[in-house]
Amino acid sequence: MQIHTKAVHVGDRKKPGSAIPTTTPITTATTFAYEKMAELDRIFGGEVPGYSYSRYDSPTVAALEELMTALEGGHSSLACASGMSALHVALLAALTDRKKSILAANAIYGATVSLLMNVLEPLGVATRFVDICDLAAIEKAAADHKPGCILMETVSNPLLRVGSVAAIAKIAKAAGAALVVDNTFASPLLVRPLELGANIVAHSVTKYLAGHGDVMGGVIVSDEPHAQTIRSISKIIGPVLGPFESYLTMRGIKTFPLRMERQCANACRVASWLASHPAVERVYFCGDTAHPDANVIRQQFPQGLYGAIVSFELKGAAQPDVFHFMDALKMIVRATSLGDVHTMMLYPVMSSHREISPKHRERMGIRENLVRLSVGIEAADDIIADLDQALTAANSQS
């Protein structure tokens, strides 16, 4: 089945009988009873499938996990309470029985940097950063430091750099490291890292997959060697997603490919328009033919689908100028997320990369005049009109 069909059907209609719910029901039970203790014993022991306690597994959550496994082409999945909890478990699983060392992309989400430096490093996990688009540098760093894990984003946040998952997977394998990929920005419609050699994929399902700004959740999809470790860690520390959030995520995923295609098309138009505006200094967009990673993008992304994030710099703007511009927006939502049906704008210095020091942000290329636009499914002309009037209003005040 193609991804559009999987998104609609996988995980649903599991109950046998004369009346089968057409969508997965919300099962809120925390515990599950059986007529015979021997059956419960086999379920606890993993000898037969079944449910015992919802920190381990439950029907609605299992349906979402089955769906995500199909979308990413993996062996199994774990649904988590947030994207960051999913990434945390993914890294713990990747480092089990390996050297406690991570080689991470130097351009990455601010909260991920905080996870590496403020949570894992004090526990003895060393992190080194590398340009994830420089294969020679990655290969040298992997050979020199022999990390247990290489961590990257399919599309970096917020400057949209794209590393070659297939090439980095080969480097990771040669070094004996696991490759963990945050695929939130690309989604499985654009890139499926496991099919390119990655070991573990993490998502914030809060974003494109659920897609309506009403779910906080994450998911890990893994290959077979890491599946049991991920499940065992989850049983102990309990980062599980609730049944209602799982249901909402499944409902959102049914239209995710359609939404994502529309958002990608809108982003192409918006990026092109921004590139010609005199108040815009620079536009970052994966569909730009002059993108520094254009060759990798052509290899990894389907033709015409380049994601729905457009970052851009306002010419000569300092923080007050950026605030004037964003305050002038009338339709575009000023909010700290992405992937919703509505277009959203975020100021990375204030939000996603707030905890990163100014010098570190400068090294990452994140300047005071940068904003990040998550393009929605509205009419592209309306998105452009709102940007135009806000840029005009901001310029009139400067």
pLDDT tens profile 317-354: 999 999 999 999 999 999 989 999 999 999 988 666 66
Question: Helices 59-72 and 243-253, interaxial angle, to 10°?
Answer: 40
Q: What is the DSSP letter of 119?
A: I
For residue 51, give every residue at least 6 positions away whose Cβ sits within 8 Å of its Cβ, in sequence order, or none. 32, 43, 57, 58, 59, 62
What DSSP assignment string belongs to 71-95? HHT-SEEEEESSHHHHHHHHHHHHH
Ramachandran area for residue 222 (φ above 0: left; ψ -120 to 50: alpha; else beta):
beta
Is 109 assigned a catalytic role? yes
Q: What is the pTM of this model?
A: 0.94
What are the structure tokens assigned to 182, written together?
């945050």
C-alpha span between 363 and 367 (Å, rounded) = 9
Peptide bond into 239 cis (omega under 30): no
Let me know: does 50 contact 32? Beta carbons within 8 Å.
Answer: yes
Locate the DSSP E strands across 223-316. 280-284, 309-314
Let me know: does 283 contact 312? Beta carbons within 8 Å.
Answer: yes
For residue 166, give every residue at least 6 positions away whose Cβ sits within 8 Å of its Cβ, in sequence order, or none. 196, 197, 299, 300
pLDDT tens profile 168-225: 999 999 999 999 999 999 999 999 999 999 999 999 999 999 999 999 999 999 999 9
For residue 182, give every residue at least 6 positions away whose Cβ sits within 8 Å of its Cβ, in sequence order, or none. 83, 87, 108, 109, 112, 151, 152, 153, 154, 201, 202, 203
Amino acid at 214: D
User: Could you list the pLDDT tens digit for every one of the 398 residues in the chain?
Assistant: 899 999 999 998 876 666 788 889 999 999 999 999 999 999 988 899 899 999 999 999 999 999 999 999 999 999 999 999 999 999 999 999 999 999 999 988 989 999 999 999 999 999 999 999 999 999 999 999 999 999 999 999 999 999 999 999 999 999 999 999 999 999 999 999 999 999 999 999 999 999 999 999 999 999 999 999 999 999 999 999 999 999 999 999 999 999 999 999 999 999 999 999 999 999 999 999 999 999 999 999 999 999 999 999 999 999 999 999 999 999 999 998 999 999 999 998 866 666 666 766 767 777 889 999 999 999 999 999 999 999 999 887 76
Residue 26: burial class (beta carbons within 10 Å; 0-12, 13-18, 19+): middle
What are the structure tokens assigned to 382, written together?
């309306």
C-alpha span between 111 and 84 (Å, rounded) = 8
Question: Helices 256-275 and 380-397, interaxial angle, to 10°?
Answer: 40
pLDDT tens profile 98-110: 999 999 999 889 8
For residue 70, give every residue at least 6 positions away whose Cβ sits within 8 Å of its Cβ, in sequence order, or none. 6, 10, 11
By residue count, the chain amounts to 398
C-alpha span between 389 and 169 (Å, rounded) = 45
**Domains by residue range for the chain, with CATH:** 3-253 (3.40.640.10), 256-397 (3.90.1150.10)
- Catalytic residue from among 6, 51, 57, 109: 109
* Distance, CA of 52 to chain centre: 30
Pairing of strands 178-182, 149-153: parallel
Locate the DSSP E strands across 260-326. 280-284, 309-314
Is 182 assigned a catalytic role? yes
Please identify which residue in the block is written with the tokens 């037969």: 48
CB atoms within 10 A of CB 2: 7
Please identify which residue in the block is written with the tokens 């020091």: 357
- Catalytic residue from among 34, 53, 55, 146: 55
Please identify which residue in the block is written with the tokens 């990390």: 147
- Catalytic residue from among 57, 182, 293, 340: 182
Let me know: does 161 contact 228? Beta carbons within 8 Å.
Answer: no
Is 321 assigned a catalytic role? no
- Catalytic residue from among 6, 207, 262, 372: 207
